[in-house]
A and B are shown apart, each in its own frame.
Chain A
Amino acid sequence: MSASVKLEYVSYIGNVLLALITGLAIGAIIISWGGYDPISAYRGLFETSLNIADPYYLAMTLSYATPLMLTAATFAISARAGVFNIGAEGQVFMGALGAVVVASLKLPDQLYLPMALLLGILMGALWGLIAGLFKVLRNVNEVVVTIMLNWIAYWIVEYARIYVYYDRYRPEKTISMPRSGVLPVLVPGSELSASFIIALIVTIIIYLVLWRTRLGYSIRVVGIGLKTAKYAGINPGLTMLYVFIIGGMISGLAGALEICGRPPTYAITTGASNIAGLGFAGISVSLLGLNHPIFIIPASIIIGALNAGSRGMQIRAGVPLEMVKAVQGLIVIALAVPGFTYMLRKWRIRKALRGETGD
């Protein structure tokens, strides 16, 4: 890491803090406008999220951070290749469905977990591949394709949940993962399971792939410009396809981990509500983390803390959920602003560079 890059990161962290303070301040105005006490609301938020004194809430924060870390990594690796891939949502759905399919099979006990994660990863990869093929072979805009695939995935999962893999005795949910296929809980009495560790390792692997492998180099060069890549002897189409497939694998894993690693139901529930929104939340996490796998880790913990802390705001400060969500949405938007400007600026520089090379 060169000195100028370091300086840039330091200034970025300064910007994030500024954004955080702005977000909290506007949030406070809204809270007091609604007739509630902003101090006790924010105290509730922190006491039930990043509370060092109470491991339960820390664990809850990390458990909420787990899927976001992975869906953010999906977005990040695509953004590094200059692709705006917002298909993580649908890939999470497909991954979760893969795990449920495995849960419905009769298997030896020790096979459930590896098979569920594997099928989840494969189905996520398939969903990424479809989007990638559209992009690479037909040059269809990836935003359009991934949005549409998200909906297709949602309805496939809903159909499967209602008609195929439903629990015979409790038709409001799918078949649950058998206990032998469930990941162990790390902090007793909390929601934090070993899926957090898996997510952490995968995110670090993505970092290594991006900066320590030939593929990662290709991805970053493609991100600078297609002509540049071709000039360097890189096949941009193939590289982008890899990005979509890897992205799909990560988000598919996120979906499967939600089934194998989140107590108490270990199934897809009504309206797929327990796995919805994770993909989109990952985008803001990735922006906050500058599309950098290592920065995504703290970024996902910050967003996870907001999720966990919404309880404290409701229960300890009596702020209704609608207002909690509005305030948190504001904080998230404010937090994503510096990363977004950073990304825009980078793209502008690249465009300028491409202009010089006649791209």
Chain B
Amino acid sequence: MKNTGIAKSTALILLLVVIVAVVGVVIYMSLTQPTPAQTKTSPTTPSPTTTLPTTGAATTPAGKTAIAVVYDIGGRGDLSFNDMAYLGGNRAAREFGLELKEVQSTTEADYLPNLRTLAREGKYLVIIAVGFLMTDAITQVADEFPNQLFAIIDGYVEKPNVLSVLFKEHEGSALVGALAAMVARYYNYSAVGIVLGMEIPVLYKFEAGYYWGVRYGEKIYNEKTGVNASPLRIIYTYTGAFNDPARGKTATQAQLGMGAGVVYNVAGATGLGIFEAVEEYCKSQGKTQGPPFAIGVDADQDWIKPGFIIASMMKRVDVGVYEAVRRALDYYAGKISTYGGVLELGLKEGGVGVSTLDDLDTFLKIAIQAGRKDINRDEIYAKVKAMRDSLPSWIWDAVKNLEDQLKNNPEAVQVYGLTFADIASRVPYSSESIQYVRSTLKVG
């Protein structure tokens, strides 16, 4: 009978599938360290933010016992936005006695179904979308579920039930600008650079903050060392793309050729080319670590090319997620009358900052927990530590000092006739206002 023939070979192949699957699972399980995902141990949070009085589960509205975090397609283990969002969600869940529900997306076509499914469950106090890629999806569900609270990290959606968590990137950029200037001067370079993605107004505040920081760093360096060198040249390049490492690399090579000692990445994935260019440049001179250095952006990128990225301007997504949950609780408790709007997080709120060794360690830990097996934690940590230690500690202290100043008294210091308050007051930047800042701070 031919039919039994099919059945037989089907059964045979199925058996093969079973064997392959079992072997695969055994290998997978033996590779994975025992990390039962259900009981994710919460790593120590590096957060410097002040711990606020725990609101407690008592004030959560009836039935709303959980928070949901929807990751973008990068997923967990990205050592970036998604891992930070997990950190923040985990902390909020622990402190407020809520359940944390994590949802990953396979493709961008999953964002809307994921958000809708969560909203339909009705038990989530707030649903948090990680990253601006979910802007359209959040806009749509926010209309469909007017009684559900949402938050979007690093994106802007104008709906009464959506909290848009944004970051004061100009503040963080000023800090890394100061660091860049001092590092460049310390190693006798004549210029610092910044490589950007597409020329869109959102990037102007990175530019403005960075330029101001560079001029401030120079000033401090002169005061500290008594050497009055000629001012650093500041080079900026718009690559025209956020997704093209090759262009980032060429732009960086050009800047290094013009004498840049530090190059700041404000270009998304294009920035991977910046790191590569810096590493290659150093290696061609027989160095195993910078100078020259790159500066990372958004997340702690120091691990990507350890020894060649002096620090990163971090957007603290964890703080954003935590604050969104807190705000939702306050709203339900009647402490605030409106939930939606923009929550801008700066230095004061711990929303932006310069990466530290502790941050690095936290990220490496949770990335390994999330299943990244390609990461050698000890080696990366040692390299980054050696790099940081090669700078005199007063430079790091000066950056810290600037941070305190920007937090408490941004009008205090003037460079080239501009205080940091002047820089901050121009947000959101237009092409005219960035032109003004560029020419005043002698950029280009």
Residues of chain B with a CB closer than 8 A to A311's CB: 103, 110, 113-114, 117
- Classify chain B: how many residues form its interface, as a range: 35 or more
B343-387 vs A, Cβ < 8 Å mask (1 yes, 0 no): 000000000000000000000000000010000000000000000
Closest B-chain residue to A318, C-beta based? B38
CA A29 – CA B25 in complex, angstroms?
10
Question: In angstroms, how far is the closest chain A Cβ from the Cβ of B367?
Answer: 14
How many of A's residues come within 8 Å of B, CB to CB? 64
Residues of chain B with a CB closer than 8 A to A29's CB: 25
Q: Does A108 belong to the interface (CB within 8 Å)? A: no
CA A162 – CA B270 in complex, angstroms?
11
Question: In angstroms, how far is the closest chain A Cβ from the Cβ of B275?
Answer: 19
Residues of chain B with a CB closer than 8 A to A162's CB: 241-244
CA A303 – CA B197 in complex, angstroms?
39
Tell whether, in the assembled complex, residue A36 and residue B6 are in contact, meaning their CB atoms are under 8 Å apart: no
Closest A-chain residue to B155, C-beta based? A170
A266-287 vs B, Cβ < 8 Å mask (1 yes, 0 no): 0001110110110000000000
With A15-B6, A315-B103 already in contact, the answer to whether A320 and B37 are too (CB < 8 A) is yes
B29-53 vs A, Cβ < 8 Å mask (1 yes, 0 no): 1000000111000000000000000
Tell whether, in the assembled complex, residue B10 and residue A338 are in contact, meaning their CB atoms are under 8 Å apart: yes
With A308-B113, A320-B37, A330-B21 already in contact, the answer to whether A7 and B133 are too (CB < 8 A) is no
Closest B-chain residue to A277, C-beta based? B107
Q: Does A359 belong to the interface (CB within 8 Å)? A: no
CA A265 – CA B112 in complex, angstroms?
10
With A48-B117, A315-B101 already in contact, the answer to whether A276 and B107 are too (CB < 8 A) is yes
Closest B-chain residue to A23, C-beta based? B17
Q: Does B27 belong to the interface (CB within 8 Å)? A: no
Question: In angstroms, how far is the closest chain A Cβ from the Cβ of B78?
Answer: 13
Residues of chain B with a CB closer than 8 A to A169's CB: 200
Closest B-chain residue to A342, C-beta based? B6
With A314-B104, A334-B17 already in contact, the answer to whether A264 and B242 are too (CB < 8 A) is no
Chain A residues 94-123 with CB under 8 Å of chain B are none
Question: In angstroms, how far is the closest chain A Cβ from the Cβ of B355?
Answer: 24
Tell whether, in the assembled complex, residue B107 and residue A30 are in contact, meaning their CB atoms are under 8 Å apart: no
With A35-B36, A172-B242 already in contact, the answer to whether A60 and B113 are too (CB < 8 A) is yes
Q: Which of these binds chain A: B136-144, B165-173, B291-299, B329-337? A: B136-144
CA A25 – CA B3 in complex, angstroms?
24
A336-352 vs B, Cβ < 8 Å mask (1 yes, 0 no): 01101110110000000
CA A54 – CA B364 in complex, angstroms?
42
Tell whether, in the assembled complex, residue B197 and residue A171 are in contact, meaning their CB atoms are under 8 Å apart: yes
Q: Does A295 belong to the interface (CB within 8 Å)? A: no
Tell whether, in the assembled complex, residue B5 and residue A345 are in contact, meaning their CB atoms are under 8 Å apart: yes
Tell whether, in the assembled complex, residue A314 and residue B103 are in contact, meaning their CB atoms are under 8 Å apart: yes
Question: In angstroms, how far is the closest chain A Cβ from the Cβ of B102?
Answer: 8
Chain A residues 250-304 with CB under 8 Å of chain B are 258, 262-265, 269-271, 273-274, 276-277
B88-114 vs A, Cβ < 8 Å mask (1 yes, 0 no): 000000000000011111111110111
With A22-B14, A315-B121, A337-B10 already in contact, the answer to whether A34 and B37 are too (CB < 8 A) is yes
Looking at chain A's contact residues, the main secondary structure is helix
Residues of chain A with a CB closer than 8 A to B410's CB: none
Residue of B110, B117, B198 touching A171 (CB-CB under 8 A): B198
Residue of A191, A264, A337, A341 touching B136 (CB-CB under 8 A): A264
Tell whether, in the assembled complex, residue A273 and residue B107 are in contact, meaning their CB atoms are under 8 Å apart: yes
With A310-B106, A315-B121, A333-B17 already in contact, the answer to whether A7 and B116 are too (CB < 8 A) is no
Tell whether, in the assembled complex, residue B371 and residue A7 are in contact, meaning their CB atoms are under 8 Å apart: no
Residues of chain A with a CB closer than 8 A to B29's CB: 33
Residues of chain A with a CB closer than 8 A to B136's CB: 264-265
Question: In angstroms, how far is the closest chain B Cβ from the Cβ of A92?
Answer: 12
Q: Does B7 belong to the interface (CB within 8 Å)? A: yes
Tell whether, in the assembled complex, residue B116 and residue A189 are in contact, meaning their CB atoms are under 8 Å apart: yes
Residues of chain A with a CB closer than 8 A to B198's CB: 166, 171
Q: Does A12 belong to the interface (CB within 8 Å)? A: yes
Question: In angstroms, how far is the closest chain A Cβ from the Cβ of B81?
Answer: 13
Question: In angstroms, how far is the closest chain B Cβ from the Cβ of A3?
Answer: 13
B110-127 vs A, Cβ < 8 Å mask (1 yes, 0 no): 101110111011000000
Q: Does A325 belong to the interface (CB within 8 Å)? A: yes
B189-212 vs A, Cβ < 8 Å mask (1 yes, 0 no): 000000001101000000000000
CA A273 – CA B76 in complex, angstroms?
17
Tell whether, in the assembled complex, residue A12 and residue B6 are in contact, meaning their CB atoms are under 8 Å apart: yes
Tell whether, in the assembled complex, residue A321 and residue B3 are in contact, meaning their CB atoms are under 8 Å apart: no
Closest B-chain residue to A54, C-beta based? B120
Q: Does B254 belong to the interface (CB within 8 Å)? A: no
Tell whether, in the assembled complex, residue B14 and residue A334 are in contact, meaning their CB atoms are under 8 Å apart: yes
Closest B-chain residue to A37, C-beta based? B38
B25, B105, B109 — most chain A CB neighbours (10 Å): B109
Q: Does B186 belong to the interface (CB within 8 Å)? A: no
Tell whether, in the assembled complex, residue B13 and residue A341 are in contact, meaning their CB atoms are under 8 Å apart: yes
* Top 3 closest pairs, chain A to chain B, by CB: A321-B104, A264-B136, A274-B108
Chain B contact residues, CB within 8 Å of chain A: 2-3, 5-7, 9-11, 13-14, 17-18, 21-22, 25, 29, 36-38, 68, 73, 75-76, 101-110, 112-114, 116-118, 120-121, 132-133, 135-137, 139-140, 144, 197-198, 200, 240-244, 371
- 25 of the cross-chain contacts (CB-CB < 8 Å) are A7-B3, A11-B7, A15-B6, A18-B11, A26-B17, A34-B37, A35-B37, A35-B38, A170-B135, A171-B197, A191-B113, A264-B136, A270-B133, A273-B107, A311-B114, A315-B114, A318-B101, A322-B371, A325-B106, A330-B17, A330-B21, A333-B17, A337-B14, A337-B17, A345-B5
Chain A contact residues, CB within 8 Å of chain B: 7-8, 11-12, 14-15, 18-19, 22-23, 26, 29-30, 33-36, 48, 56, 60, 158, 162-163, 166, 169-172, 189-191, 258, 262-265, 269-271, 273-274, 276-277, 308, 310-312, 314-315, 318, 320-322, 325, 330, 333-334, 337-338, 340-342, 344-345
